[in-house]
Chain A
Amino acid sequence: MATPILDIAGYGLDYATPAGFTRALDDVTLSIARGEVLGLVGESGSGKTSLAWAIMRHLPKSAREAGAIRLTGQDLLKTSEAEIEAIRGKRIGMVFQDPSTSLNPTLSLGTQLAEVLVRHRGLTRKQAWAEGEERLAHVGLKVPGQMMRRYPHEASGGEKQRVVIATAFACQPECIIFDEPTTALDVITARQILDLFKELQAETGVASLYISHDLALVSQIATKVAVIHRGKIVEQGAVAEVFARPRDAYTQKLLAAVPRPDHRLVDTAAPAAGKPLVEVEKVSVHYGRKPFLGRLLGRANTQFTGNREVSLCVMPGEILGIVGESGSGKSTLAKAMTGLNRFEGEIRFAGRRIAGLGDMDRAYRRDVQIIFQHPDSSLNPRQRIREILSRPLELYGEPGARKDAAAIGELLEQVRLPASFAERYPHQLSGGEKQRVAIARAFASKPKLVICDEITSALDVSVQASVVELLVDLQKRFGTAYLFITHDLNLVRQIAHRVAVMYRGDLVDLVDVAALTDGTLHPYTRSLLDAVPAPAAAAA
């Protein structure tokens, strides 16, 4: 094999904190040759992004380093700041996670792309602009001339990420770091960006370091994969090798945690037909107030529609999955059903008519609980777990019901947390533990329907698997119905009985989970299914 483009040998990184040094990376050894894609996989806090910044030589002052990072033989650790500035952007490019924050909102896209060309390739402004247009055409943008003049807020997420990629490739660098470039994008857009990446990679033969938490995705695009856990590379090798025969226990755990549609976690048979628990009938949600002056002057309504006449029903004990991209109105529906949004239309719960917020009495609120996406934000940071869990008991408990420490301990044990957690504050728990507390809070009132609003998407893969397992377990024990909102199709195919697909506020499909593989589907559902990366090759 030829000399690698990027060669990291025994690299260690510590951050100085008031309490001493914290190890971020420990003895990392990696090498990427020309034309290779190294997928670096790890959970949040494993040091993936620290490594990216170390390669870019952009570390905080508190960093202490060891080992070597070589770019075609030149040790970047020993290179002066001035030389690094010439290397950054020219020989090493970087693509960031979120294009809406990595582009400057006050400069046009063209200016930002041309600047790189002027700086590193010595072109004049005019030449750079022309070259920029060519570059944009190259990354598949339909109207490159127009796009150059647009500002970031005038372009969609996918278009912006294409511009960022064009910028990274602009100076024909030897090495490009991709830091989760598709995580902030919608499923279908992400798919297109991935295709673009593959195309450009094959064409330029650049050495790529592709950082991701998504195993399925890495298995599709990388040639080599390295698994990082708490700053250490626990396993690396060819993709097929690592995914088929993982040797390290952590890799095995990660692979096992990836949701697989063919591996059902609940009985496929939907609950026997009967009276539905909740029926949502023609529920529409509009955001924004009707402008008072506008109404007087007869101006057109400027309200934004969150849901348009959505109708669905949930059987007792059924898991109904709702999927759709961001902004499709999934959460809006959840909020309407829990009284956080005004709605038009009608909800029937166990035969009772709920036509508005006023009809949601204590009994309804007890029976319908919601769990939110971010446990950080759904638990009050100033309250102890005990206080957080005691509220539903006080609000809904029967007069004689216990509200003491033992009752709270039971709630915690129900979600497999030690009872001693009652005295802790939320910030003393990990993300997964916090989400379990939120689940415990929802189940405290013994509800009939629990709305799970993207509850696993802020969690790491392995934590997500255990939370889902817990939910399935609770569902079996209490026969609770779930409205499971997610953007992860693989996950929803694992646990849902029926799947509802939403697109721009409309419900476009409502089918049995089995019908997703065969059966007639709305074209949008079809494209959504096609865009989802198949899970990593099943571990033999």
Chain B
Amino acid sequence: MIEILKRMLRSPQGALGLVIVGLILLAVIVGPWFAPYDPEKMAPLMRYKPPSAQFWLGTDQYGRDILSRLLHGARATVVMAVIATALGTLVGAVVGTISAFLGGRSDEAIMRTVDAIMSIPSLLLALLIVNLLGKSSVNALLAIALAFAPGMARVTRSVALAVRKQDYVNAAIARGESAAYIVGREMLPNVVAPIVVEMTIRVAFAVMLFATLSFLGLGAQPPASEWGLMVAEARRFMHLSPWMILWPSLAVALVAIGFNLLGDGLRDALNPRS
């Protein structure tokens, strides 16, 4: 683990990604305590303020401090995105590995189904699911997880196919092991590395997808300080105070870039040949 961190720090993308993601995680964990104001405290006299010494990032249409709202919102945004990705990855990895293990007609059936689901754009699929389940953060999370699973299944299957040909899997079959053991203990541990890389990159997508859902009013609901929702609300006041839309957008972009760089660095670090 420490060895991998060291190798990541050696490449510029890896180091930068680690720093950005580290800062984001810091904001997630201790952010609320460092927020200078209550994120939901309204101040009618302090509306649409530009950044100043008093309000570092300015205030919104109700006079709420944007910095405080961002720090509080980090938890909702980033944690939700990570959980959604992890859930989607888990489902996708298991489906992909099982598909590769079974092979033949079952593999065809599973993968063609996955293809069919993948042909629906992920945002559309997420919208569909949220509309079916109702508007809420948890449903948005499930929707994103479900939207990600087919892609992860595809990635995992391609790696698992190579693992399936290895003799240790043949040895396990010849030994008479159960399918669950072979998939869980022989194959899955050997497909983890590329999946972890793919997952970090997808966290960035999840943050954006989540923000998009909130922006469309299908994810987090006001007065939550979820970043996507903040962008959505600020849109109407864009001409009055551009700061309101700028900061949460930048925060979303930063998370996306951070996780992308982390994924790049991780991919290089986990591949000893590079």
Contact code string A408-443 (vs B, CB < 8 Å = 1, else 0): 000000000000000000000000000000100100
Contacts of A380 in B (CB 8 A): 168, 186, 189-190
Q: State whether the Cβ of B273 lies closer than 8 Å to any Cβ in chain A.
A: no
Residue of A nearest to B190 (CB): A382
Instruction: Decide: B174 and A378 in contact? CB cutoff 8 A.
Output: no
A380 to B176, CA, bound (A): 16
Q: State whether the Cβ of B113 lies closer than 8 Å to any Cβ in chain A.
A: no
Instruction: Decide: B167 and A395 in contact? CB cutoff 8 A.
Output: no
Contacts of B173 in A (CB 8 A): 339-340
| Chain B facing A: main interface SS | helix
A335 to B166, CA, bound (A): 14
Decide: A395 near B176, CB < 8 A? Known: A379-B168, A380-B168.
yes
Residue of B nearest to A289 (CB): B104
Contacts of B176 in A (CB 8 A): 339, 360-362, 365, 395
Instruction: Decide: B166 and A377 in contact? CB cutoff 8 A.
Output: yes
Instruction: Decide: B104 and A370 in contact? CB cutoff 8 A.
Output: no
Residue of B nearest to A335 (CB): B170
Instruction: Decide: A365 and B190 in contact? CB cutoff 8 A.
Output: no
A383 to B172, CA, bound (A): 13
A518 to B166, CA, bound (A): 41
Contacts of A360 in B (CB 8 A): 176
Contacts of A70 in B (CB 8 A): none
Q: State whether the Cβ of A345 lies closer than 8 Å to any Cβ in chain B.
A: no
Decide: A340 near B190, CB < 8 A? Known: A372-B167, A377-B168, A378-B167.
no
A455 to chain B, nearest CB (A): 11
Decide: A339 near B190, CB < 8 A? Known: A289-B104, A377-B167, A378-B167.
no
Instruction: Decide: A395 and B168 in contact? CB cutoff 8 A.
Output: no
Q: State whether the Cβ of A201 lies closer than 8 Å to any Cβ in chain B.
A: no
Contacts of B171 in A (CB 8 A): 370, 372, 378, 438, 441
Instruction: Decide: B174 and A339 in contact? CB cutoff 8 A.
Output: yes
Please tell me the size bucket of the interface on A.
20 to 34
Contacts of A369 in B (CB 8 A): 174
Instruction: Decide: A338 and B168 in contact? CB cutoff 8 A.
Output: no
Q: Out of B104, B174, B177, B190, which one reaches A338, CB within 8 Å?
A: B174
Q: State whether the Cβ of A119 lies closer than 8 Å to any Cβ in chain B.
A: no
Instruction: Decide: B168 and A391 in contact? CB cutoff 8 A.
Output: no
Within 8 A of A (CB), among B157-188: 166-168, 170-177, 185-186
A339 to B176, CA, bound (A): 9
Contacts of B170 in A (CB 8 A): 335, 340, 370, 372, 378
B269 to chain A, nearest CB (A): 13
A292 to chain B, nearest CB (A): 9
Q: State whether the Cβ of A381 lies closer than 8 Å to any Cβ in chain B.
A: yes
A379 to B175, CA, bound (A): 13
A360 to B166, CA, bound (A): 22
Decide: A395 near B190, CB < 8 A? Known: A377-B167, A378-B167.
no
Within 8 A of B (CB), among A327-379: 335, 338-340, 360-362, 365, 369-370, 372-374, 377-379
A391 to B172, CA, bound (A): 9
A362 to B176, CA, bound (A): 7
Contact code string B193-232 (vs A, CB < 8 Å = 1, else 0): 0000000000000000000000000000000000000000
Contacts of A261 in B (CB 8 A): none
Q: State whether the Cβ of A392 lies closer than 8 Å to any Cβ in chain B.
A: yes
A380 to B189, CA, bound (A): 9
Instruction: Decide: A340 and B168 in contact? CB cutoff 8 A.
Output: no
Residue of B nearest to A371 (CB): B171
Instruction: Decide: A370 and B190 in contact? CB cutoff 8 A.
Output: no
Q: Out of A370, A377, A438, which one reaches B174, CB within 8 Å?
A: A370
Contacts of B175 in A (CB 8 A): 365, 391-392, 395
Contacts of A383 in B (CB 8 A): 185, 189
A373 to B177, CA, bound (A): 21
A338 to B167, CA, bound (A): 13
Instruction: Decide: A391 and B104 in contact? CB cutoff 8 A.
Output: no
A160 to B182, CA, bound (A): 40
Contacts of A340 in B (CB 8 A): 170, 173-174
- 22 A–B contacts, CB within 8 A, in A order: A335-B170, A339-B173, A362-B176, A365-B175, A370-B170, A370-B171, A372-B167, A377-B166, A377-B168, A378-B167, A378-B168, A378-B170, A378-B171, A380-B186, A381-B190, A382-B189, A382-B190, A391-B175, A391-B177, A392-B175, A395-B176, A395-B177
**B interface list, Cβ under 8 A from A:** 104, 166-168, 170-177, 185-186, 189-190
List 19 additional contacts besides A362-B176, A391-B175, A392-B175; criterion CB under 8 Å: A335-B170, A338-B174, A339-B173, A340-B170, A340-B173, A340-B174, A360-B176, A365-B174, A365-B176, A377-B166, A377-B168, A378-B166, A378-B168, A378-B171, A379-B168, A380-B168, A380-B190, A382-B189, A383-B189
